[in-house]
């Protein structure tokens, strides 16, 4: 089927679905969803010819003097927005970005991930990932200002069929399933008002698309139910923050899991060990991309099930990388869970740099340090030194400095996104560092 025939086939599918409008979506470098909307009658030309838009209006994309850019919809990402009324049905299509000369735009986060995925494919690998996205549901009865008041008081895996939070979470699951996503599990998380939805693993590009889809679907369904959802990593002091634990594996081009090693006590292959070692070696630089906000580092503190120390293990949830157990006969599910990412990241960039770090470990045949199965949070400084355990950056400034000094991670971001990301995040840090916070007022105002 040629491009024109494929376009006409999708138009017929959209017409039979009752779709009236198409939302053509992409993300900016930070990970915010952007879109233009077209009527159904323009879908065929959009698929074949693309849609021009002003790239200079999107921060980090291009200058005014080189503003013309082209959206090319990816037909595989067509999904009907199931939560909208049937009589006003809208579908979305995720787009790739191109320059006027027809070349891919280097500042497109989806393109950055495509580049690393293609690099892995040339090495004989398919990168598979599945993320566990955590979020909070907050009440909206506080006027126009957003206040983090939890929608419920449940705890980890709490279940009440009549509970309003459980009902909203089920509606989110129905909406995601209706959009063609394979929801593996949804449940209440540890903190009051905190929830988690897991989507089945897929190739990295599909997985990143799914993460973007999940975030805006969760927000839309929450809004319809009179609450608001936030993927902010640490909205409330003193309770658990929200992570985006990401399960990873490499398969060969026929789909066989290459992380499985039948004779290893952890069930891992030499390839898996090299991959893990690469991510551990680049962990401090990765932090800037997978935990990219000032607030991210309020989550990455001891005592709240978030990783702080650069180590790995199997039963150890304080480790940066955990190897989940697989039942006999389930060796195809062998994987490494990377626990540092949070849902404020751009998933395309996060998966791109995580893959680049793992591939670097494979190319250099790096070996990880011995596993640690104790609770690293309880280690003394002497024990940390004995085990040679480093820590993740303590704040965004430290993470950006680590990124600046890591050519592997910077190269994965590309010549366009790498420098822009550093500038934008350094500006964010400077703005934050001069703020006068409520904590400072309470601590000092009345005593100094």
Task: Return d(Cα 76, Cα 13) in angstroms, integer.
Answer: 12
Task: Return d(Cα 158, Cα 388) in angstroms, integer.
Answer: 38
Q: What's the confidence (pLDDT) of residue 415?
A: 94
Determine which one of 245, 282, 299, 322 is catalytic: 245
Task: Return d(Cα 85, Cα 224) in angstroms, integer.
Answer: 12
What pTM was computed for the model? 0.92
Does 386 qualify as catalytic in the annotation? no
Determine which one of 317, 331, 373, 395 is catalytic: 317
Rounded to 5 degrees, φ, ψ at 346 are -80, 115
Spans of the chain, pLDDT less than 70: 1, 56-67, 141-163, 190, 327, 329
Task: Return d(Cα 409, Cα 95) in angstroms, integer.
Answer: 25
Determine which one of 96, 108, 132, 209 is catalytic: 132
Determine which one of 152, 189, 342, 360 is catalytic: 189
- Residues 232-258 have pLDDT tens digits of 999 988 888 999 999 999 999 999 999
Q: Which residues pair with 96 in a beta bridge?
A: 72
Does 317 qualify as catalytic in the annotation? yes
Task: Return d(Cα 355, Cα 162) in angstroms, integer.
Answer: 42
Does 401 qualify as catalytic in the annotation? no
SS3 state of residue 127? strand
Q: Which of 362, 384, 345 is nearest to 282 (CA)?
A: 362
Determine which one of 96, 134, 152, 342 is catalytic: 134
Domains of the chain (ranges plus CATH)?
Answer: 3-104 (3.10.20.70), 114-439 (3.30.590.10)
Task: Return d(Cα 132, Cα 214) in angstroms, integer.
Answer: 11
Rounded to 5 degrees, φ, ψ at 135 are -155, 165
Environment class of 32 (CB within 10 Å of its CB; exposed 0-12, middle 13-18, buried 19+): exposed
Does 423 qualify as catalytic in the annotation? no
Strands 126-139 and 202-203: antiparallel
- Residues 335-387 have pLDDT tens digits of 999 999 999 999 999 999 999 999 999 999 999 999 988 888 888 888 888 88
Strands 90-98 and 79-80: antiparallel
Does 438 qualify as catalytic in the annotation? no
Determine which one of 108, 152, 196, 209 is catalytic: 196
């Amino acid at each position: 089927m040629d491009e024109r025939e494929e376009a006409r086939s999708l138009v017929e599918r959209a017409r039979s679905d009752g779709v009236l409008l198409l939302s053509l979506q992409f993300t900016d470098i930070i990970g915010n969803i952007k879109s233009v909307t077209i009527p159904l009658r323009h879908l065929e030309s959009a698929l074949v010819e693309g849609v021009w838009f002003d790239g200079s209006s999107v921060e980090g994309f291009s200058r005014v003097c080189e503003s013309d850019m082209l959206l090319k919809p990816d037909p595989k990402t067509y999904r009907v927005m199931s939560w909208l009324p049937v009589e006003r049905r809208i579908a979305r299509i995720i787009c790739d970005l191109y320059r006027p000369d027809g070349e891919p735009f280097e500042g497109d986060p989806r393109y950055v991930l495509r580049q690393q995925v293609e690099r892995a494919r040339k090495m004989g690998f398919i990168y598979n990932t599945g993320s566990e996205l955590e979020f909070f549901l907050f009440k909206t009865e506080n006027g126009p200002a957003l206040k983090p008041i939890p929608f419920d008081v449940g705890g980890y895996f709490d279940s009440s069929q009549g509970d309003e939070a459980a009902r909203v979470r089920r509606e989110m699951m129905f909406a995601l399933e209706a959009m063609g996503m394979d929801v593996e599990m949804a449940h209440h998380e540890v903190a009051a008002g905190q929830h988690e939805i897991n989507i089945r693993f897929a190739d990295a590009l599909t997985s990143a698309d799914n993460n973007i889809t999940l975030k805006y679907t969760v927000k839309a369904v929450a809004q319809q139910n009179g609450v608001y959802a936030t993927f902010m990593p640490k909205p409330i002091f003193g309770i658990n923050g929200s992570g985006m634990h990401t399960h990873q594996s490499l398969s060969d081009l026929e789909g066989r899991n290459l992380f499985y090693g039948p004779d290893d006590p952890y069930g891992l292959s030499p390839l898996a060990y090299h991959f893990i070692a690469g991510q551990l070696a680049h962990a401090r630089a990765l932090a800037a991309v997978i935990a990219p906000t000032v607030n991210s580092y309020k989550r990455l503190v001891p005592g709240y099930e978030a990783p702080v120390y650069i180590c790995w293990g199997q039963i150890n949830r304080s480790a940066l990388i955990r190897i989940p157990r697989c039942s006999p006969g389930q060796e195809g599910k062998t994987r490494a869970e990377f626990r540092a990412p949070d849902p404020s990241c751009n998933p395309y960039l996060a998966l791109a740099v995580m893959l680049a770090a793992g591939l670097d470990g494979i190319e250099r045949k790096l070996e990880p340090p011995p596993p640690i199965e104790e609770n690293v949070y309880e280690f003394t400084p002497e024990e940390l030194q004995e085990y040679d355990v480093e820590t993740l950056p303590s704040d965004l400034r430290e993470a950006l400095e680590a990124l600046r000094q890591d050519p592997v991670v910077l190269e994965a971001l590309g010549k366009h996104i790498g420098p822009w990301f550093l500038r934008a995040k350094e500006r964010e840090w400077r703005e934050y560092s001069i703020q006068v916070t409520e904590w400072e007022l309470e601590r000092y105002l009345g005593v100094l």
